[in-house]
Amino acid sequence: MFDNIYLKNFLLNKKKFNKNHKKTKYILKSLLQSIENSDEFFIQSLSNSYSFNFNTKMIKNFSKYKNIVIIGMGGSILGTKSIYHFLKKKIKKEIFFFDNLDESLHLKLNKIKKLNRACVIIVSKSGDTLETISNFNIIFSKKLSKNNLVFITEIKDSALIHIASKLDAEIIEHKKFIGGRFSVLSEVGMFPAALMGLKVDRFRNFEKIIKNKNFISSLTKSVAGIFTLYQQGKKNSVIFNYDTKLNDFSLWYQQLVAESLGKKGKGITPILSYGPKDHHSLLQLYLDGPKDKFFTFFKVLEKNSKYKISNKFNFNEINYLNNKSIKSIIDTQSKSVMNIFKLKNIPFREIIFKKNTEEEIGNFFIFFILETILLSSLMNVNPFDQPAVEDVKIETRKNLR
């Protein structure tokens, strides 16, 4: 279990790495002890012992809807999108996400058949997220029924609480101690997952994997390696994704790293890159530009490939592609990049998703959440706030009044 993270060239300075590795293991031990002593720590939501604020009856009631509309921003929706697109083959319903303010909103709405018969989930921890309220206002104007609305938000004085109360709609509490970008395995991601027909209990295996030696070894070595590279001036983290199923997972990871670590002049800049497309735009920079980056390759292991190349025109120039699947070509391209990275001593790690299950993506959510928290301790920043963003929100409200 958990033998799918491979560090390559991450140990460029072994002395610093060993020192950071020892410190990381100590921080992790302290973190696990603090979890045992607190009932209100967001990591509780990563465990199956965490009790949801929704029940089987509620799931059954809203599962009758064939279409699900989810409205949210950032951490309120990115985790759910990650789950949907990674496990889409298992999901029979159509899910529509509204996660930005966009003039083309009506085009997406036109794709939803019988909008008034769709389950609409509105997610905002604060209950005052400007974009979420705006999108809901526009969508609700399409004559939605209040009976198919679910609000996931903190129970406090807020715009969404007032709206939900006025409509007598269903409210699921977003726990105060669970931040948005850490909320994927709480009600925020698990209620929609349950409506998608997925096995919610399989996502959250904190107690099991925290005892797994491979998991702990991969986690602590990744953290120590990243922090050592950070100390050496490599402060740009490129997520090189080679499977479209992981596009939204990459976006979730990007937000987690950027918002959690970007404080006090410190931070790691997460850059999303997509292979093999970016071989023809950014790869030259990665190979021959500034040596201020480290890389994470995301790949999905799949045996079956729908499309293969055939040389029906009998061109000798492309004989080497004959009978090659699209998947095998992409895998060869990514391996070729990694081989050149090795030659050029460019630090990278390869992360392979092998099983395509609820358990696997849940384990990776937990892995990256813990990785980010451990990095925040090493960098001496608070991973749970975002004070600079709050300044922009206040300024925007002031200018809109």
Collapsing DSSP to helix, strand or coil, 237 comes out as strand
The gap between the terminal CA atoms of the chain, to the nearest Å, is: 54
Decide if 181 contacts 75 (C-beta within 8 A): yes
State the Cα–Cα distance between residues 218 and 214, nearest whole angstrom: 6
Decide if 132 contacts 71 (C-beta within 8 A): yes
Side-chain half-sphere exposure of 371, counting CA atoms within 13 A: 23
Buried b (16+ CB within 10 A) or exposed e, 281-291: ebbeebeeeee
Decide if 75 contacts 254 (C-beta within 8 A): no
- What's the burial of 317, exposed, middle or buried (CB within 10 Å: 0-12/13-18/19+)? exposed
The one-letter code for the residue type at 67 is: N
Q: What is the largest CA-CA distance in the chain?
A: 70
173 C-beta neighbours (distance < 10 Å), count? 16
Catalytic-residue membership of 259: yes
Phi-psi sector, 168: left (phi>0), alpha (psi -120 to 50), beta: left
255 C-beta neighbours (distance < 10 Å), count? 16
Q: Active-site residue among 154, 170, 187, 259?
A: 259
* Packing angle, helices 78-86 and 187-195, rounded to 10: 30
Q: What angle do CA 214, 220, 221 make, to 5 degrees?
A: 85
Q: Active-site residue among 16, 19, 85, 393?
A: 393
Catalytic-residue membership of 393: yes
Q: Active-site residue among 89, 280, 303, 312?
A: 280
Decide if 240 contacts 392 (C-beta within 8 A): no
State the Cα–Cα distance between residues 88 and 202, nearest whole angstrom: 16
Decide if 43 contacts 69 (C-beta within 8 A): no
The closest of 213, 257, 253, 209 to 235, measured between CA atoms, is 257
Catalytic-residue membership of 174: no
Question: Mind telling me the catalytic residues?
Answer: 259, 280, 393
